[in-house]
Chains A and B, each alone.
Chain A
Amino acid sequence: MFTRRAILHHCMALGSLTIASGFSAEAMFAAFQEREKEPRKPTPPNTLGPFYKRLAPTTGTLRAPGDPGLPLSLSGQVLDTRGDVLPDATIEIWQADHSGYYDIDGYRYRAKLPVDASGQYRFETVMPGHYPDRSRVCQHVHYLVTAPGHKTLVTQLYFATDPAFDGDPQKNFVRDPVIRTPELIRPVLLTGEPEAIHAEVRFELCLERL
C-alpha cells in the first residue's frame, strides 16, 4: 500500500505534479505533513487535590536510596494536539509513598522538572500505595503540566496492574469514582531480576493550545 508521501513522490517523478512555488520538494513535503498531522486528543484532566503543595523541588529523583516500595520510572513526552513537541513544558508530580501517605510537612515524593529539548521527561520514584483503608481509591500519581501558550493540564496517572482493577481496567476503572476514563490507566512494564524488580510506565501528555 502506498503512503500519501510515496504517492506524492511518484507523482513528482512522473511529472504529474509540479511545484509551482519557490519551495523545495522537501519543504513542500514538510508543509504537507504539517497539514496532514492527525489532531491528537488532549490528555483527560483529573482531580488536583487536595494534596498539591507549591514550591516542589526541581529534580527527577524522588526515590531515595533504601526507600521501601517498588522502584518506578515514569517517562513520556509532552506534545500539543497537533503533535508538536513542547520543549518548554514543565511537569510537576506528587504522590503518596508506598504506604499511601502524602508528605504534607515536607516534599517527599514531590518534584517538578522541565522537559528536555525533545519534550521528554523521566522521574525515578516508587509505586504509590493505596490510601489506608480506602481500597476504592486506586494507586495514582498526580501531574501538573504547564507550557507557554498552552492550557495547563491537571491530571493523574493510574496503573493497569492495580489490584483494584482485577486485571480489567477498561471495565473496572469505575470502581474508583475519581477515574472518569480508562485513558489515564497505563500498562506497567516490569523488568529486572526477581529480587530487584523495577517498574516502568510511559505516560505521554498532550496539551491544548490556548
Chain B
Amino acid sequence: MICRSSTAVASILIFLSSPTLFAQTIRQEGSISLPAGVSVAPPPGRVNFSAVLSRNADFLATVFNDNVVRVWALPSGELFHTLDNKADPANRLRFSNDGRLLAVAAKSGTIKVWDVSSWKVQEEVAASSAVRALTISPDNQLLALATDFDEQIWELPTQKRLAVLHTPFDCYCLMSLGFSADGAMLASADGDTAIRIYNAHTGVLRSTASELLLESLALDFSPDGKSLFVGGGDNTISIIDPLSGKISETLTKQSGAVRGLVASGDGKQIAAIYNLSKRFDDVSISVVLLWDLGTHTVRARFEQPGIAVLGVAFAHGRLSVVGGSGNKLSIWSIQ
C-alpha cells in the first residue's frame, strides 16, 4: 500500500546556528504499509540492520520479523521484489553503489547477489558461517564480508575467494565494512575497536587505526579516498587518514551512538544516524544529523519521536531518510 504526501512540509527539521545556514525543507515523499504482523521494530535483544537504502536512494531493501526480503522502489514505495526463503532466512542486505546489485546474506552464510532489475541471482558465494557485515566494491567486482571468525574478500565474476583477513579474536559482534570509491581500499571496523584498512584486492594490511576506545558501528570513505569517516559507541564521528591510520579530526560528541553514516558525493557533508537510546541496539529513538565538513557544524537535525531511522542517502541533490514505526515506513527528503 502506498501513500503519497509530497506537499507536506514537516516541522521536524530543526535549523541550528551555522555560519552558512541556508534554506532547507523537508518533505515526506511517501509511505509504505507493511503486511499485518510485520514490524519495523527489532525483536528485543537483537540489533536490526535489516533495512538498507541504495546509495542513490532509488531502492530500499528490508527484511523484518517475517524473514521476507522486500525490495521497494523509491520514492514511490512500490514493492519491486520479494524473496521468501524460510529455510534459510536472510540476515544482512547490501546494495552495490550503483543500486544494480543487492547482496543477500542468509543465516547459513550463503550470499546471493541479485540483479535488481531482472531479479535473478547473478553470483553466489558461501562464507563459513553467518555473515555480520558485507559490502560490494564500487565496480561490482569484489564482495567483502565479515563473519564471527574472519573477514573475506571474494571476486564476484569468478566466485573465487581472494583473501581471508584474520581478526584479532572471534568477536561475535557487529562489524562494518566499506570500500573506497576507487575500489583500492577496504576498511573494516573490528571488535577490538581498531579500524583496519586493507588492499582490497590482496587483503594486505595497509594501516590500522587503533586510537578508538569503543567499537565502531559505521564507516564510509570520502569520495576522494583521502578520509575515512568512522562512528560508533563513542558517540562521535572520527575522521581518519587511511594511509597513516591516524585520527585527524573528531566531530562534536553527541548523546548517542553512531549507527549509520554516509558521505555526500561531493565530500562536503556527512549524514549520520545516532541512537539516542542508551542501548546501541534500540533503534526506536534515533536522530539524523547533517554535518558540514567544511565548518564541522551541524547544518540540520532530523528527529521524529517514535520513528526509527533505518537509512540515509545523498541522491539527486537531496538527503533521503527512511524510517518507520510499527508496520509503516516513511520516506523523507531534505533539500
Q: Taking beta carbons and an 8 Å cutoff, which residues of A are in contact with B?
A: 45-55, 101-102, 104, 131-132, 134-137, 144, 151-154, 176-178
Cα distance A54–B212 when bound, in Å?
Answer: 8
* A154 x B172 contact (CB < 8 A): yes
Whether B44 pairs with A136 at a CB distance below 8 angstroms is yes
10 contacts between A and B (CB under 8 A): A46-B172, A49-B171, A49-B173, A50-B233, A52-B192, A52-B193, A134-B279, A152-B168, A176-B45, A177-B46
Q: Is the CB of A177 within 8 A of B213?
A: no
Q: How far is the CA of A104 from the CA of B257 in the complex (A)?
A: 10
Q: CA of A117 to CA of B333 in the docked complex: distance in angstroms? A: 62
B contact residues around A154 at 8 Å (CB): 169-173, 191
Residues of B within 8 A of A (CB): 43-47, 148, 168-174, 191-193, 212-215, 217, 232-235, 257, 278-282
CB <8 Å contact, B46 and A54: no
Q: CA A104 – CA B279 in complex, angstroms?
A: 11
* Majority DSSP secondary structure for residues of B touching A: loop
Q: How far is the CA of A135 from the CA of B44 in the complex (A)?
A: 8
Docked CA distance A178–B193 (Å): 21
Min CB distance, A71 to chain B, in Å? Answer: 24
| CB <8 Å contact, A48 and B173 | yes
- Closest-CB distance, A39 to chain B (whole angstroms): 20
**B214 in contact with A48 (CB, 8 Å):** no
- 6 new A-B contacts, CB < 8 A, other than A49-B174, A52-B214, A132-B279, are A49-B280, A50-B174, A50-B214, A50-B233, A134-B45, A177-B43
Contact partners of B47 in chain A: CB under 8 A = 50
A135 to B279, CA, bound (A): 13
Most buried by A among B43, B214, B217: B214
* Given A50-B217, A104-B235, also A137-B172 (CB < 8 A): no
Q: Using CB atoms, name the residue of chain B closest to A52.
A: B215
Report the nearest A residue to B174, measured CB to CB: A50
The answer for the CA separation of A47 and B171 in the assembled complex, in Å, is 7
Closest to B168 in A: A152
**Chain B positions within 8 Å of A51 at CB level:** 214-215, 233, 280
A50 touches B172 (CB 8 A): no
